[in-house]
Amino acid sequence: MGDNWSFVLAAYGLAVVVVLGYWRMLVRREKDLDQ
Partner 1 sequence: MVRVLGAVTVVALAAGLVAGLGLAPREATQGNVQRIMYLHVPSVWVAYLAFAVVFVASIAYLAKRAEAADQLAHASAEVGVLFTGLTIATGSIWGKPTWGTWWTWDARLTSVSILFVMYLGYLLLRGMIEDRERGARYAAVLGIVAAFNIPLVHFSVTWWRTLHQPPSLMKPGPGTMPPVIVATLLVNFVAFSLLYAYFVAKRVRLLRREAEATS
Contact between 8 and partner 1 by CB under 8 A: the answer reads yes
Kindly state the smallest distance separating residue 32's Cβ from partner 1, in Å. Answer: 10
Contact string (CB under 8 A) for partner 1, positions 15-34, x = contact: x--xx--xx--x--xx--x-
DSSP assignment of 1-35 equals ----HHHHHHHHHHHHHHHHHHHHHHHHHHHHHH-
User: 15, 12, 34: which is closest to 23 by C-alpha?
Assistant: 15
Instruction: By CB under 8 A, name the binding residues for partner 1.
Output: 1-5, 7-8, 10-12, 14-15, 18-19, 22-23, 26, 29-30, 33
